[in-house]
Amino acid sequence: MKLSEYWFPGRLRDLTRAECIDLLAERHVGRVAYCDETGPVVLPVNYVLDGDDVVIVTSPDSALALHLRSAAASFEIDEYDDYTLSGWSVLVRDSARYMGCEDMPLPSTRPHAWAEGQRNLYIRITTKEITGRRLLGS
């Protein structure tokens, strides 16, 4: 018998906005989603939390740069545990736009891209709507 067959299903609990912000502040990798001409796309990116906004960094010639000049976007982080069948996720929904010099975070607090290449385009995803859920193992 598999573990999933004799453990009880987990209970879902909504996270507060403050809990979501705390989780966003602790991480460095998330996933940004956007819509291109054929549908939705979701890609992992490095990010930092700047106030309540998510700031991501990418290359000026990337698909992200092409589609997030000024567009609806969402951003997700999560963590889960295959053994306890538990986890949590946070979803940010609003819009993305290129950042200019006037609203750039200080160099010490900018996101750092793990990948090589010229990644110097910063994109701000505002966080009008933040929701999160935690799945508690039984």
- State the residues that interact with a second copy by CB under 8 A: 2, 4-5, 8-12, 28-29, 31, 33-35, 38-44, 71-74, 76, 78, 80, 82, 85-87, 89, 91, 93, 95, 112-117, 135
Spatial separation of the C-alpha atoms in residues 133 and 131, rounded to whole Å: 7
Closest to 90 (Cα-Cα) out of 29, 35, 36:
29
Minimum distance from residue 105 beta carbon to a second copy (Å) = 15
Choose between 102 and 105: whose C-beta lies nearer to a second copy.
105
Minimum distance from residue 45 beta carbon to a second copy (Å) = 10
Written as six digits, the tokens of 52 are 């309540």
Minimum distance from residue 102 beta carbon to a second copy (Å) = 25
Choose between 86 and 102: whose C-beta lies nearer to a second copy.
86
Minimum distance from residue 135 beta carbon to a second copy (Å) = 5
Spatial separation of the C-alpha atoms in residues 138 and 3, rounded to whole Å: 12
Check: CB of residue 99 under 8 Å from CB of residue 110. no
Spatial separation of the C-alpha atoms in residues 42 and 48, rounded to whole Å: 18
Choose between 11 and 69: whose C-beta lies nearer to a second copy.
11
Spatial separation of the C-alpha atoms in residues 47 and 53, rounded to whole Å: 10
Choose between 39 and 102: whose C-beta lies nearer to a second copy.
39
